Amino acid sequence: MYTVLEGIDAGELTLIYCRWQNYRGRRDGGEKGEPMLGIVYWIGSTIGTLPGASIYRDAVHAAKDVIDKYVVFNLHFANDEDMFKLVKKTGQMTAGMKEISACHGQFSETPRG
């Protein structure tokens, strides 16, 4: 994953989606929602063109006939007073993430309705 983060920093992956969502997970039976920031990058510098940089694709889990096009990050936050904290000494804010998940994607769908 470090290679992907380096690619983002170098501009070789392009941000295409970033959205706050109310995530209802399995841990709490789906009853209580929690904030989740979903972030998706296109593998490549031009959205919609076939990705050229194979170093950012998943070489272990991907099927041979499928090309990874996206890198997806989900940042999960606790829905409590620790979500954002002000560090009084420096005046900076910190984010209380409790989990980060990442995966590759090959397809996207547009919701109907």
CB distance 39 to 71 below 8 Å:
no
- pLDDT, tens only, 8-38: 999 889 999 999 998 876 655 556 778 899 9
Give dist(CA 91, CA 2) in Å, integer.
29
**Domains of the chain, residue spans:** 2-105
- Residue 102: pLDDT band by 50, 70, 90 thresholds? very high
pLDDT digits (tens, 9 = 90+) for 52-86: 667 888 877 766 677 888 999 999 988 787 788 88
